[in-house]
Amino acid sequence: MREEPDLVTTWAAGGWTEEDGVGSATLRRLVAAWPRRAAVTTSPGALDTSAAYDPALPDYPLEIVPFAGHPRFLAATPEQRGQVLTGLWIGYNERVIATEHLIAEPAFDLVMRGVFPGSDDPLVRQGVQQSVVDESFHTYMHMLAIDRTRELRRVRSRPRQPQLVTYRRLRALLADMPEQWERDVAVLVWGAVAETCINSLLALLARDGSIQPMHSLITTLHLRDETAHGSLVIEVVRELYARMNAEQRRTLVRCLPLALDAFAEQDLSTLRLELVTAGVEGADEIVGDLRATGSGRRLVRDFSGAQRLVERLDVADAVDFDFPERPEWSPGVGRHR
C-alpha cells in the first residue's frame, strides 16, 4: 500500500479546507484504508493455527531487559533467567491489555459519546469506531499470547501485578481536577499519548528475530494497526482542539507533559516482581542499582509520534518535555503503510 503523503505538504497544497475540518482529507484516507489495513479484517485467523514453537527460544528479548548485565542476574541459573524472560513477556501482554482498557478505550469512548465539540463529525466517529474494533482485537491477541505462553511454559500461577503506573498517574491527576470537563480533557490526552507512544514498545519486539515467532507475529500485527492509529489520533485531536475553548486548550497543553512523563516511566516494581517470582537472589539489589543509576527508568524510548502531535497542535513551545532523538529502529508515526 502506498504511503500517505506528509501532512504538512498536504496542508500547504490545499488538501483540505477550513469548512472540511483541519484534517479531514487525511482522516478520509485513513478511514477508507481500514478494511485493507486492520489486522481484524486482514488476519483474523492468524493466531488460530499453532505458530512454530521452540522451547529453546526466549519469550522476551534479553537486549531490552535493563538488568540483563547485572552480576546478580548473570549468577542466576539458566532456568531462572528463562523464567524471568517468560514473566516479562506475560507481564508485557498484561500491561498492553490494561492500557487498552484503562487508557485508550475511555478516551475513544468520550469521542464516541460526543463529549467534545467536533466529535460528531462522521469521519471522526468512523475513524474512532474503527480504532475501537482494532483495540478489542488487540486485547484478544494478547490474551491468547498469555494463555498459550502459560500453557507451553507450564506457568500455573502469576503474581498479582501492581496497577498500571500510567493509570495511577492519571487517577492522581483526575483527583485534583474539580470540573468534569477538565477530567475529560485529561482522559483524552492520556489516550492520545498512549496511541502515539505504544508503537515504540511494540517495535522492540516485532523487529526481534530471537524470540518466539508467535510473539513477533502478535506485536507485528498490533504495530501495523497502531501506526495507523497514531496518524488518526493526531488528526482527531487536531479536529477537537480546533473547536475547544481557551480553558480546554490550556488544560490539554498542561496535561501533555504529565502524560508523556507517565508513559516514559518504567515501573521498577514489576521488574522486581518477576525476579522474585523466578527465585533470583538479590532482586532488591538489582532494582536498587537500577534506581540509583537511573538506568531502566525510562520505558518508552521513542516519542516521535507524540512529538508530532505536539507540533501539529502548534504547542511545542508550551509543552515542557525533553523529546529524545528518534531511534533508528523507530517504525515512525504518521506514515500509514
Structure confidence by residue, pLDDT tens digits, 194-216? 999 888 778 888 888 899 998 99
- Give domain status of residue 15, yes or no: no
18 phi/psi in degrees, rounded to 5: -60, -35
Q: Is residue 123 part of a domain?
A: yes
Q: Which of residues 296 and 130 earns the better pLDDT score?
A: 130
**Is the backbone of residue 332 left (phi > 0), alpha (psi -120 to 50) or beta?**
left
Query: By mean pLDDT, which of 41-50, 84-93, 286-295 is the weakest?
Result: 41-50
Q: Which domain holds residue 286?
A: 21-42+65-318
Residue 52 belongs to a domain: no
Spatial CB neighbours of 138, under 8 Å, sequence gap ≥ 6: 39, 96, 100, 222, 225
User: Which residues lie below 8 Å from residue 3, measured CB to CB, with a gap of 6+?
Assistant: 335, 336, 337
Q: Does the residue 253 lie in any domain?
A: yes
The confidence score (pLDDT) of residue 303 equals 85
Residue 103: CATH number of its domain: 1.10.620.20
Average pLDDT in the chain: 87
Looking at residue 295, its pLDDT comes to: 65
Residue 127 lies in a domain: yes
Condensed to tens digits (0 to 9), the pLDDT of residues 223-236 reads 999 889 989 999 99
Determine contact, residues 336/130, Cβ cutoff 8 Å: no
* pLDDT range class, residue 137, cuts 50, 70, 90: very high
Residue 14 lies in a domain: no
Separation CA 191–CA 241 (nearest Å): 14
- pLDDT higher than threshold 50 for residue 6: no
**pTM, two decimal places:** 0.87
The answer to whether residue 187 scores a pLDDT higher than 80 is yes
Spatial separation of the C-alpha atoms in residues 144 and 141, rounded to whole Å: 5
Domain-embedded: residue 332: no
> Poorest-confidence range of 125-129, 255-259, 333-337?
333-337
Domain count, the chain: 1
In a domain, 77, yes or no: yes
